Structures are given as C-alpha cells and as structure tokens.
A and B are shown apart, each in its own frame.
Chain A
Amino acid sequence: MSRTAAHPPSAVQEPAARSHRLDGLEPDNLLAFMALLGLLRALEADDRTAPAPLRPRAAWDLDAPPLRPVLHLARPVTQGEIAESAARGVAALAAAHAFGEVRDLNYPRSRARALLRQAAEAGPGGRTWGDLLAALMSDAAVKEDKNPAEAAIDPTPLCLLFGQGHQHFLDRLASVPATAAPPPRGRGKAAVNLSPADCLAEALFAPWHRSDPTFAFRWDPAEDVRYALLAGDPTDAAYKAGTQHGANRLAAVGLPALTLSPEQRGERIRPTVLGGAQSAEGFSFAWPIWRDPATLAAIRGLLGHPDLREPGALVPLGIDHVRVARRISVGKFMNFTRARVVGEA
C-alpha cells in the first residue's frame, strides 16, 4: 500500500482479523448506510478478480455501544488490506459512472428507454452499467408532460440535486467515485496526501472529520446546515462544512444496490427504491439493523421486505430494529434527516 500521508489512519496498525468494526459508519446516517452498501459492492467487485476472495458480509454490533456495523470476511486481513481491496473495487465500479455531457437526471423517456435497453442487451459485461441505470430511473415513471414519449423521467427519490446552487447529480455521480482522493490537506511541506485506500480507511474505521473540500450528495444529515441553527453564516468559508470524501465515494457506488421500480400512486406511475416509501410527510428511506452477518444480496432482500416498517415484524429474521430517515426541504435544497427508530418517538 503506497502511503504518503503525514498522519496515516490507524488502519494499518490493526492486526489481521476476519471481523472488523466499522467505527466510522453511524447507524442513523443515510450516507453511512449507503457507504456500507458501497463497501460490500466494491469488495464483491474486487473478489471477482482476486485469487483469494474476501466474501464480505456485514452485521451490526448490538452488544458494544455505540452501535456500529462489523465487516465479516472469509479470511483474516488487516484494515489496510480491506481499504485497498475496496479502493480497487470502487475504481472498477466507477468506470461505469459515465454520463457524457448530461449533468442532471432528467433524461427524456425515449432516451432513458434506449439506454436501459442497451444495458439489458449488453449481457453480463454490462451488468454494472445496467445496475446503475436501474437505480437511477425507469422509463415507466415519468413526469407529467403533454408529450409522454419525450417527458422527462421521474428520477430516483435519492436524487436531491437538480441544478439548484449549481449542484448537478449526474455530474457528481460521475466525478465523486472517479476522484480517488481529496486534495492535499494543508499547505507546503505540511501538506498531507492521501492515497485512495487511506481515504476509504478513514471513512470506514474512524469517526468522520468531514474536512474534505469535495462534492457530496446531501445524503449526510450533517449537510443540513440551516442558518438559524449555527453560530455563523453557513456560506462563510469559516463555517462551511466539508465532506467525508471516502464515504461519498463508497456511497456513490452503493447507490446501484438500491434498484428503482415504478409503482402506481393514485393516477400516476411514480418511482420508488428498495427501502423507500412515500407518505403524507414525503419520501423516507428505511433500513434494518440486523444481528447476523448478511451479504449484499441478503441486505437488499431485507430492504425490499413488505413488512420492513412494521415495528417488530422482522424480529424472526434477526432484525433488531429499523431506522427511517426522512427527506426534507430546506429552502430550495433538500436533505435527509438523522434516522429514527421505527415505532419510537
């Protein structure tokens, strides 16, 4: 592992083990949960070419507060090796995140249909591209328009960027995973360069510092910076919050795990995603907190369970509880709240 950081994360100092607690991933943070999905997806992607696969699974450590996920692997490895494997996997998956000149998720229906058909006909080789498109849009769910054939697609409810404040979703979905590491921290000789693996290790194994000047997707509840809740002007550089780049990289490649599907609501066909639901209060995303190690496929199965939001309904499946984050509007921007436990205040 190439290291140039002046303050290396503690990852490499940890001994090799088959289980690793992910101290950076908080249970009530949507970005952290999507980063967990991205981690599993990236490790599985790297496993396809690795001589000794890691076969990653994840569970939540319910016995040692604070609640955090634990990564379970098929063989003992160090945290550094996990980060390197994940970095290779993210790089492989990020290659599919190419949208050309399109910056916002507003394809016309005909174009979306053509892209989806193209991905479906590409066979196994186009699976990554197909998964990504299937998580972003469906040609069945479009916005109201006089010409339905050319109506813009109704994007995934996890898309919070539509160009407001010069924030473009596809732009970021392409650039964030392709940016292997944040810019050097500090200036001159004191500057710290992080490798791609360091960047991911920071996000996974240590509390987040959110000091990277990189782009994000507004999935982190800490990005809800309302003027009246701060001591200073949130647009002032002194108060402007940074991001945790490694978490956003992982979350960007985790998004394709949340496949979109069209559903009928009233007279219209609207998009929904695994774990998502629309109610009178707006869109919300729920995820379970499970006890036993589960693969990405098993987690996706749990997210799609029809009783996911019924308090206590999934206890026989090893689910301790379920958390829900609501999508909220703050002025012209949108954010996700910290997730609350289903059935509690």
Chain B
Amino acid sequence: MTLVLEVEHLTGTAFAALGPDTDAPDWPPQPDRIFSALVASWAARGSRDDERAALEWLERLDPPLIEASSGLPRRVPIHFVPPNDPGTGRSGDRSVMPQFRRRQPRRFPAFRPDDPTVRYRWCDAVVDPATLEALIRLAADTAYVGHSASLTRCRFLLDGTDSAPHALLPARRRVYPGRLQELRDGFASGRRPRPGDRATATLPPATERSHSVFASQWLLLEVVEADDSRVDGRPSDAGRPRVGVMPDLRAAAVVAKAIRDAVISGYKAIGLGDRVPALVSGHEPDRSPTRMPHMAVVPLAFTGVRHADGRVLGFAIVPPRGSGLLDDADFGAAMRALVRRGEEGSGGSRPVMRIWRTAKDGHVPFEIALAPTLQPTLRTLDPLSYTAPARVFATVTPIVLDRHLKATGAAKHDEIVQGIVAACRNIGLPEPEMIETRWGPRPAVVPEKHSAVVGAPSAWPSGGAPVWTRWRLPPSLASRPLTHAVLRFAEPIEGPVILGAGRHVGLGLCRAYPDLEPGVER
C-alpha cells in the first residue's frame, strides 16, 4: 500500500517562497515544508506523545514522490508592509498605529497550479493503525502550508492503486531523523529553521510513452501588441510597417507560413540564404519537398476553457523531436537577425519580430509583432496544454486531410476516419485504439464539423455564411477538405499531436482532452 498525503490548496494559489532572497515560488511544496506544517499542527494540538511518535516515524521515511500538476507562477510585485509591534517607548506615539507605521518592502511569491491538489506518495510504507490515526488527526488540523494565506485541506490515506493523474516528481528537499527536534529547538530559541536537506530520490523507471515526430520544447512567440492604429491597410512607410490587429484563428495558417518565411529570411540576413536547413524550410537543396520531419509553426489561441473566444495570443515554433534546432547556433543567429528592441507601445524593451504579408497590389493584409520567449506569461501560451501525456486529443484547428475524398454517404465518414488514422501514422504515432461499434470494430476517431474544444471555430461555416468566414489556407492546401476530430489512443501518448497535410502551418493542432471513458478518473 502507498501512504498518501493529499494537500488541496483551497484558494487555488500556493504562497511559498524558495527563500527570502528570491521571487521564485516553491512549487510543488517540498516535503520539509509539509512536515513543518504538520509539526505546527502537533504543537497547536497540545504536543501529544502519540502524535509526536507519528511525526518521528514519518521523518525516518525516505522522501515521498510528489504528484503535482503544472501551473504558472504569479507575478511578484513589491508590497510595502507595516512591521509588527513597533515599540517606541513613548506614550501617545501615533506611529504605533497601523496607519502610521513605517512600511517595509516585501514580496509574496505565489504559484497558481492547474490542479490545486498535490499528493505526496510514500510507496511501500508500512504504517500501523495507531500511527496512521495520529497522522490523520494532524493532517485534519493543518489549515495552511507555507504562508498562512495558503489555506489547505490535508488528509492522509492509504492508496492501493498506482494511478496518478499528474506527473510524479522526485522531492528536492527532505526531512531526516532528528528534524522534529531541530524544529523544536529552533522555535524555542526564536530562530528561523533552515530548509530541509537536499533529497536525491529518484523516480521509479518511467514507462516509455509513444510520441510524435514533433518536440515538446517550443519557442514561443507572444503577441505583444494589438494596435488598431493601422486603418488604411498599408505600411506607414516603406519597409517599416505599423503593427496591426492579430488575424483571426481561421487565418492562422497564413500567418504561420509568414512566420516560417520570416525565419528563412533570417538565415538570408546572416548570409546563409543558400544553406537554410531542410528541417526549417521543409525543402531539400534541390527545392524538392523533404521527406524528413521539419519545423512546424502553430497558433496558440485562447481555447479550451469557459469563456474562451479563440483569440490568437501567440504562435510557437515546434522543432522536430531530437533535432536540437532551438539550440542550433545558426537558428539562433537567424532569429536574432529578425528581432529588435520594441518601441514604446510595442512590447516595451522586449525584443520583437515583426511579421507582415504584402499582397501583389501592395495591400498589407496583416502586420503583427511577436516577442520570442521560452517563459510564457499567459496560460494560453503554455505548451503543456498540447504536450502533456493524454489518451484523448481533440483538434483546435481542423485537420487538412492528405487526400481528396472520393467516397460518398456513410463510406465518406470511413474514408475521413482512415485519413486521420493515416495522419497519426505519418507523424510516428500509434493508430487510435479500436473500439466495438454496431458496425463492428472501428478506430476511436470521431470526425465532426465542430471542435470539441471550447472557443475553436468550426471546420467550415454554416450554410449561407460569407465566404470570408472560412478557414484561410495557403494555396497548396486550398482545395483540401477540413475536419475537426476527437481521437482516443489505447495508452497515454506524449504530445504534441499535429495531424494532416497542414501540420507544418498549424492546422490539425490537438490539445489533450479529458478522458470521459466510464471508470477512468478525469
């Protein structure tokens, strides 16, 4: 059996700092912090002997594995706080009143996890009923972990299953025999305790998961401006267009192609125009299409949550897995050739790259400014929505089928499904699992006009809708059929999943979707 301590952050935010000299939050909360919280509960409950024995038993265990979701650190502004209890020695001194106290700068690092519940797993821990009972009592009275604003619900339980909805992480810090006494001594002498010891625990051997040919490390391009100042559809002056509105998600493929072209122009700017690698351009030196996996550019839109409206908040350059493209010196130089320091109102001092398209008649359909980054500031830009292991995936942008459809009626549906299954094979994924249907075994693929992801536009507009509400595709894909889909695999696979003929320009991009199979925990 596995001894599990479940800690739910009731406000959805964990306030805990790595140290007084850093703004970085301590996520997930490490076992030494949890142990300190349990010790505080023990003291508050009257320092009972049976509970002390339980804590001393707990401190002798090896560090637990931590099951925690990812999330985003909260911005850490400086707060000016009044120090506690100033004693001036003068009567009638109003400076002791809270309103008139001096203020001192302080920061409160915080983390907003995707899932507020963290579980600490001591695998194969043999706990006797009395000790477990004492631990349960201590956990029940642990109202906060870390800062007192980190309100928690804690409970110990025994878990016989190995299922873990989130990744298991090794502990970075640990407690050790004698830690309880050390904390007591520190408290008695009024000293701040030092952190726990460094843990060197290792994860159990991980199961090798299936994955696509695309890497999970992305270079993010964050939209830094949405300025409506451009109204005439033309650049303000030659070679230096003003930045305009980010096009709709349905035009993402056109923008993605412009970004790819810009990267290629970066190579030209550094004198490598004739040596653009095929994994960037998608073409061999003789200009024939390469058969090797190459770079994709995908849109990152506000989708998948309540109130999502499908706005594009950024793009990502997705290199082929194992290509090392993002670490390549030439690629870095090409990107640096594209970016320049932002001006007032266009990303501040952040380096930005400007992307625009000029039509033959001089018309400029769009102009946008993007800031390359590896650290997303918005949850929409977090690649984890697309790269986290999952069994079920749903398209955000529709799949461009590799072939034109020939069948009609019910056979057309099967042809689309087979096309999607082939698209999975094309990017190195296993085929979706087979399920029993009334027509016999079929792949677990549901093609549909509408996306299962909230906020994503449908694959084609309603009848009678204007032509310009369709998805805009590059000319080479313009006549291909589009479809949204939901796919389920037999085992969790590692993202990203980008399917179909438009995968290199961001079409067929899927995000992990809740597994709704009965009996499977969400």
Residues of chain A touching chain B, judged by Cβ–Cβ distance below 8 Å, are 26-29, 65-67, 207, 209-210, 222, 224, 226-233, 236, 321, 326, 328, 337-338, 340-341, 344-345
Contacts and interface: CB of A to CB of B under 8 A. Distances in A.
Contact of B172 (A65, A66, A227, A344): A344
Contacts, number: 65
B229 interface: no
A66 B199 CA distance: 10
B85 interface: yes
B20 A232 contact: no
Contacts of A233: 83, 86-87
Interface of B: 18-22, 24, 81, 83-87, 104-106, 172, 174, 176-179, 182, 185, 189, 191-192, 194-198
B197 A65 contact: yes
B20 A67 contact: no
Contacts of B21: 224, 326, 328, 337-338
Main secondary structure of the interface of B (DSSP, over half): loop
A227 B83 contact: yes
Nearest to A67: B197
14 contacts: A65-B197, A66-B178, A67-B197, A210-B191, A222-B191, A228-B105, A231-B85, A232-B87, A233-B83, A236-B87, A328-B21, A337-B19, A337-B22, A338-B19
Given A226-B20, A328-B21, 14 more contacts: A65-B174, A65-B197, A67-B197, A209-B189, A232-B83, A232-B87, A233-B86, A233-B87, A321-B198, A337-B22, A338-B19, A338-B194, A340-B18, A341-B198
Q: By CB atoms of chain A within 10 A, which of B18, B182, B191 has the most?
A: B191
Contact of B106 (A210, A229, A231): A229
Contact of A227 (B104, B176, B179, B185): B104
Contact of A67 (B18, B178, B191, B198): B198
B201 to A, nearest CB: 11
A344 B198 CA distance: 11
A65 to B, nearest CB: 4
B56 to A, nearest CB: 15
Contact of B20 (A207, A224, A321): A224
Contacts of A224: 20-21
A328 B22 CA distance: 11
Of all A-B residue pairs in the complex, the 3 with the closest CB atoms, nearest first, are A65-B176, A228-B104, A228-B106
B331 to A, nearest CB: 23
Main secondary structure of the interface of A (DSSP, over half): loop
A66 B178 CA distance: 9
B28 to A, nearest CB: 11
A228 B82 CA distance: 8
A345 B85 contact: no
A231 B187 CA distance: 13
Nearest to A236: B87
A28 B21 CA distance: 14
Contacts of B85: 231-232
Contacts of B182: 207
Q: By CB atoms of chain A within 10 A, which of B24, B185, B192 has the most?
A: B192
A230 B83 contact: yes
B31 to A, nearest CB: 12
A88 to B, nearest CB: 31
Contacts of B195: 28, 338
Q: By CB atoms of chain B within 10 A, which of A27, A227, A236, A337 has the most?
A: A227
A28 B32 CA distance: 16
A230 B178 CA distance: 26
Contact of B24 (A27, A228, A338, A345): A345
A232 B190 CA distance: 11
A341 B196 CA distance: 13
Contacts of B197: 65-67
Nearest to B26: A345
Contacts of B198: 27, 67, 321, 341
A328 B18 CA distance: 16
Contacts of B18: 340, 345
A326 to B, nearest CB: 7
B19 A207 contact: no
Contacts of A209: 189
Q: By CB atoms of chain B within 10 A, which of A236, A328, A338 has the most?
A: A338
A232 B104 CA distance: 12
Given A67-B198, A227-B104, A229-B106, A345 B84 contact: no
A314 B168 CA distance: 28
B297 to A, nearest CB: 30
A66 B104 contact: no
